[in-house]
Every structure is written in structure tokens, then in C-alpha cells.
Chains A and B, each alone.
Chain A
Amino acid sequence: AQTVTQSQPEMSVQEAETVTLSCTYDTSENNYYLFWYKQPPSRQMILVIRQEAYKQQNATENRFSVNFQKAAKSFSLKISDSQLGDTAMYFCAFMKSGNSGGSNYKLTFGKGTLLTVNP
């Protein structure tokens, strides 16, 4: 079974600053996907960024980028130029890839990091 650990329950950052959220995972799989989701106070879960494990290049989406270290099983999220609208709970998630059944299409989430962006 896969596990996802987010060691920072809460973090805060000043507007326009950069912040990094940590995530580690444990799996025996070689092919998988990793995600960061954002859940603002409205509770709507929003996909922030994805990373395919077979890709060495770190994913980037505008102000959001990841540092994917496959050997270390680490997947951190960097938010640059933080904005007040980035205030939310951030979840790291794992999904096994492939068509072997079992946990395919099943997301395993970490406990989340509550990020507060201060003006």
C-alpha cells in the first residue's frame, strides 16, 4: 500500500514571497503519478500540478513548480510570488499508473498543509 506524508501541518508566507511545501511518499511501484491539489475555504478541490514519475523534468504551471526526487521519494511544491488567493489547504496525492487494476485511478492523499498568505 502507498502512503503519503506531509510533515508541515501549517505554514504561512508573506504576499509576494516564495514558499515550499513538503511531501514524501512510500511505494514499491515504479510507474505512478503525483499531484498537488488545493482546497480553499470554499472546499472545492482544485488540481494545481501533476508529475508523471517517468519524467525527469520537474513540472511547472505558472507560479507553481515541483521538485521531484524519485530516488528520495520526495515531491515538494514551490509557490512563487504568493498571492492572497493561494490561502488554502494543500494536499499531495499519489496514484498508481498502468492497467494492472487494483489501485489504478485511486488517489492516496496526505493529511494536508494549511497555507496562509499574509498581506
Chain B
Amino acid sequence: KAGVTQTPRYLIKTRGQQVTLSCSPISGHRSVSWYQQTPGQGLQFLFEYFSETQRNKGNFPGRFSGRQFSNSRSEMNVSTLELGDSALYLCASSGGATYSYEQYFGPGTRLTVT
């Protein structure tokens, strides 16, 4: 089975721009979660989607949004980028038959805001 894929892998944007990141979950997984990883704050939960509905949201400003499509693929969008948004953005999928709660991560998208 193919793992979680994320595109693009690297991205450089300018302050004030917006960005869209994509995540394709493991086949059959219906839950997709997003995390932000920075050296200062560590790993922080952004949001989680299941069947095209956002079920959980972390403590991030409204500039961070996401959505999930009917094929379970998910996108997250960050508008009006700030320097502090530079981070590794990780996507994880879950919903396996045995341990449905286990999250499997993609390789991440490295976003640099200049």
C-alpha cells in the first residue's frame, strides 16, 4: 500500500502571500490530520478532517484553513503568510482496519516564508 503523500515537498513564499498544501492519505483511510512542526513550538495540531468534515481544530488563527475532498484527499491553506509560518507541515492519515486511531505521517512540506 502506498503511504501518505504530500505535495509540494518544499515551498518558498513571501510575506503576505497565500499557500496551499496537499495531502493524499493511505488508500482506505478517511481521517486526515495536519500538524505544524517548528523548532520553537515543536509539533502542534492544526486540524483533523473525516468524511469532508472538520472534526477537530487546534489553536491557530483563522488564516489557517483546510478542507477534505470526497476521495479523502485534503488541502490546507494559509493566507497572508507571516515569517512565523515557516515550518514543516505534516499530514497524517488514519482509519486502518486493525488500529483505526493510529496516525501515519507523510514526508511533510517544508514552507519557508521570506
**Which A residues lie at the B interface, using CB under 8 A?**
33, 35, 37, 42-47, 50, 91, 95, 97, 101-112
Instruction: A42 to B105: give the CA distance in the assembly, Å.
Output: 13
> Which A residue sits closest to B107, measured CB to CB?
A44
Q: Are B90 and A45 in contact (CB-based, < 8 A)?
A: yes
Sort A-B residue pairs by CB-CB distance and give the 4 closest, nearest first.
A45-B105, A109-B43, A106-B45, A105-B48
Chain A at the B interface: SS class: loop
Residues of B within 8 A of A104 (CB): 55-56
What number of B residues sit within 8 Å (CB to CB) of A? 25
Contact count A vs B, C-beta below 8 Å:
58
Q: Please, which residues of chain B bring their CB within 8 A of the CB of A50?
A: 99, 102
A112 to B40, CA, bound (A): 12
Decide if B94 touches A105 in the complex (CB within 8 Å).
yes
A43/B56 in contact, CB under 8 A: no
B42 touches A33 (CB 8 A): no
A87 to B104, CA, bound (A): 20
Distance, CA A23 to CA B34, complexed state (A)? 23
Taking CB atoms, residues of chain B closer than 8 Å to A102 are 56
A43:B88 contact, CB within 8 angstroms: yes
Within 8 A of A (CB), among B69-109: 88, 90, 92, 94, 99, 101-108
25 contacts between A and B (CB under 8 A): A42-B107, A43-B88, A43-B108, A43-B110, A44-B105, A44-B106, A44-B108, A45-B92, A45-B105, A47-B102, A47-B104, A50-B102, A97-B101, A101-B55, A101-B56, A103-B56, A105-B33, A105-B103, A106-B45, A106-B56, A107-B35, A107-B43, A107-B92, A109-B43, A111-B42
- Chain B residues lying within 8 Å of A91, measured Cβ to Cβ, are 43
The reply to whether the CB of B22 lies closer than 8 angstroms to some CB of chain A is no
Q: A42-B107, A43-B107, A47-B104 are in contact. List 17 more A-B contacts (CB 8 A).
A: A35-B102, A37-B105, A43-B88, A43-B108, A44-B107, A45-B92, A47-B102, A47-B105, A95-B101, A101-B56, A105-B31, A105-B48, A105-B55, A105-B101, A106-B48, A107-B43, A107-B45
Task: List the A residue with the shortest CB-CB distance to B46.
Answer: A106
Give the Cβ gap from A4 to chain B, nearest Cβ, in Å. 10
